[in-house]
């Protein structure tokens, strides 16, 4: 007896829908991991539950890198404007969830008085993993921003040093021009005085 074909439509029973979501989510994330390992490819999966809970998998260190790579590829193809806009919205939504205030809300929602009895050890471990992943993401973003800031400051320093050197050359040139003009004026005065003497 084989599997029966399941009609793809919204499951009306809330409990059955939650069970199906959990099983299929785990299966999807498992397949994503297998695909990245077997084929040595970058894979990123983002899932938001109906309650707004975030689940994600990333085969690289940073989901932001995969989103940026996707954004760059889409920008080069047809319909780039719409796709880039969609990616920016998705990225900002994902990044927004990782902000500390949002993390505290997620923890509060999951560990609130009414939910504590419903959570299993597995749920708590999953929540802990989400928090660790979010902290890693936040630290990576912070480091990236600091490195960008340092790089920008170095560039500004180079530009200011070049501008200073250029101005010093101009000043030296104008001083030399001033001396030259004074010498020319002195020579003209001498020449004029010699002409009047003759």
In a domain, 64, yes or no: yes
CATH number of residue 66's parent domain? 3.40.1810.10
Is 67 among the domain residues?
Answer: yes
Q: Measured between alpha carbons, how far is residue 170 from residues 58, 115, 174, 178, 180 in Å?
A: 55, 73, 6, 12, 15
Residues 66-99 as b/e (b if ≥16 CB within 10 A, e otherwise) read bbeebbeebeeeeeeeebeeebeeebeebbebbe
Q: Is residue 7 part of a domain?
A: no
Give 87's pLDDT tier (boundaries 50, 70, 90).
Answer: low
Q: What is the pLDDT of residues 27-46, one digit of tens each?
A: 999 999 999 889 888 899 99
Total of domains in the chain: 1
What does the pLDDT look like over 42-65, one tens digit per residue?
899 999 888 888 888 888 877 888
Residue 109: domain span: 17-118
């Amino acid at each position: 007896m084989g599997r029966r074909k399941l009609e793809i439509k919204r499951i009306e029973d809330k409990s059955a829908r939650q069970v199906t979501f959990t099983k299929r989510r785990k299966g999807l994330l498992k397949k994503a991991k297998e695909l990245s390992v077997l084929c040595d490819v970058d894979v990123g999966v983002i899932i938001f539950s109906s309650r707004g809970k975030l689940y994600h998998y990333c085969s690289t260190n940073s989901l932001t890198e995969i989103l940026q790579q996707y954004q760059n590829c889409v920008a080069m193809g047809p319909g780039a404007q719409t796709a880039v806009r969609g990616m920016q919205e998705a990225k900002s939504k994902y990044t927004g969830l990782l902000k500390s205030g949002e993390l505290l809300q997620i923890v509060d929602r999951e560990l609130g008085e009414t939910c504590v009895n419903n959570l299993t050890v597995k749920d708590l471990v999953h929540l802990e993993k989400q928090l660790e992943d979010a902290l890693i993401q936040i630290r990576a973003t912070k480091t990236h921003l600091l490195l960008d800031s340092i790089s920008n400051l170095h560039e500004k320093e180079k530009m200011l040093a070049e501008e200073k050197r250029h101005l010093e050359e101009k000043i030296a040139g104008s001083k030399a021009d001033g001396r030259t003009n004074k010498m020319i004026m002195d020579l003209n005065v001498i020449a004029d005085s010699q002409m009047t003497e003759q």
